[in-house]
Homo-oligomer: A and B are copies of this chain.
Amino acid sequence: MSEKLPFKVADISLAEWGRKAIDIAENEMPGLMKMREMYGQSKPLKGARIAGCLHMTLQTAVLIETLTALGAEVQWSSCNIFSTQDHARGSVFCYISLLFTLNRLNTTLFSAIAKRSLLNPDSHASLIVVYAWKGMTDEEYVWCIEQTIYWKDGQPLNMILDDGGDLTNMVHKKYPKLLSGIKGVSEETTTGVHNLYKMMKNGDLKIPAINVNDSVTKSKFDNLYGCRESLIDGIKRATDVMIAGKVAVVAGYGDVGKGCVQALRGFGARVIVTEVDPINALQAAMEGYEVTTMEEACKEGNIFVTTTGCEDILLGKHFEHMKDDSIVCNIGHFDCEIDMNWLNANAAEKINIKPQVDRYRMKSGRHIIVLAEGRLVNLGCAMGHPSFVMSNSFTNQVLAQIELWKNTSKYPLGVYFLPKKLDEEVAAAHLDKLGVKLTKLSDKQAKYLGLPREGPFKPDHYRY
């Protein structure tokens, strides 16, 4: 059947299974479904040709189908060569109407999107094109991104949804003529946001940008709540180790660290924290955690988790003091926290236990178990953040896209936070699912507080 398709999908028969997974994920992404409910009729994204560059996962499938349900046409690539979920055991390359000949296993996930596009040519899914597969090379990665810039009818993108800045950078550098036709970019991550502020400062940014990352319902939610659940999940699937009774050393007490520490304690580990920022260090102490340096902690820990976003957190001098079969993993965004080079160069032996789990025998005879080769353990050894928390992030994305597309005049060139009112709207869209009943301010109360009844309720500097 796949031959007759205008897709390049290795096994369209997996589509059914992928659709089942999407169906269940939709129930866990009430924010996105609320967007469909609220804006599915008015289609505020009609006319938008959104090129998206963001990890191709189950949750992203729901995001993409939400954007199209709101009227957009979407072309997609993945923002990371490792992160594409196969949701089965393959990889995928799917597109519409373009003929392409690479022979790859497809995933049920992309099969599902592709099949809906094919079978319902008039449905909102009909214009989705995804360029991504598991295990792509760096060259293929760039190639994929570039395919999303022009539509098959020759028209270019007019909106960007980015995660990390690679698409934004490519358009600025290689397709500068298109910039005037682009209404804006919404950016997902710290790295991408950092890039945007730098471009803005240097005068290089040519399109308005919304920093989705720093919405409360994004950064505070996926970092804290997401990692709280996915860290243990990753460790367990990789090692089945008992957490209770263990000494866990967590480097960094930012939002990611806070989530990790809470989960580890919740399961009965004794947690030691390392920190450079005295405020975060004091916060850790005020919650009853021992705070010390890695030089001391490395001798006590059984499980080590890096969350800092900084390099050189676990080095040879630390590995050499660790107890036998210490488990070492990273849940910070970059894979520079654990000095894998030292380990690979200095261990007596590296024994692969199973995918994403390596046991290094040190010259001392002790062992160190490294998860996901020092990359993100919740992605490498588990399924990443749960759908519900991604629903928060992605509802921010949807609102940011609407905002840039419809209220263009409010956003002259610059990098913006999403208005707090919309941040609150994201949260509000997730309450029903959890059975939360929100209180309404009375007119009298609103007047007393000097606030609009419908919010926003807090000043911008408020720390949730």
Contact = CB atoms under 8 A, between A and B. Distances in A.
A427 B440 CA distance: 37
Contacts of A24: 239, 325, 353, 359, 369
B216 A463 contact: yes
B229 A243 contact: yes
A279 B312 contact: no
Interface stretch (A71-79, A135-143, A172-180, A430-438): A430-438
B265 A288 contact: yes
A39 interface: no
Contacts of A309: 449
B353 A20 contact: yes
A200 to B, nearest CB: 14
A275 interface: yes
A390 to B, nearest CB: 9
A285 B436 contact: yes
A2 interface: no
Nearest to A274: B439
A280 B423 CA distance: 11
A216 B296 CA distance: 28
A370 interface: no
A246 interface: yes
B27 A324 contact: yes
A297 to B, nearest CB: 9
Interface in A170-220: 214, 216-217, 219-220
Nearest to A453: B276
Contacts of A146: none
Interface string A216-241: 11011100010011001100110111
A236 B229 contact: yes
Contacts of A285: 244-245, 270, 431, 434, 436
Which among A268, A312, A457, A458 has the highest number of chain B CB atoms within 10 Å?
A: A268
Given A277-B457, A424-B277, A246 B387 contact: no
A222 to B, nearest CB: 11
A444 to B, nearest CB: 6
Given A267-B228, A353-B24, A312 B442 contact: yes
B243 A359 contact: no
Nearest to A239: B24
Contacts of A434: 245-247, 282, 285, 291
Contacts of A300: 435
A293 B240 contact: no
Contacts of A430: 245, 282
Interface in A13-34: 17, 20-21, 24, 27-28
Contact of A275 (B220, B276, B439): B439
Interface string A425-464: 1011011011111111110110011000001011011011
A388 interface: yes
A154 interface: no
A431 B245 CA distance: 9
A408 interface: no
B369 A279 contact: no
Contact of A267 (B263, B311, B449, B461): B263
Given A241-B28, A287-B268, A427-B281, A220 B463 contact: yes
A111 B71 CA distance: 58
A279 B435 contact: no
A428 B311 contact: no
Given A24-B353, A292-B436, 20 more contacts: A216-B463, A225-B242, A233-B236, A242-B388, A244-B389, A247-B434, A268-B288, A271-B288, A278-B438, A279-B423, A280-B464, A282-B427, A291-B437, A292-B437, A296-B437, A310-B441, A311-B444, A312-B444, A336-B448, A463-B464
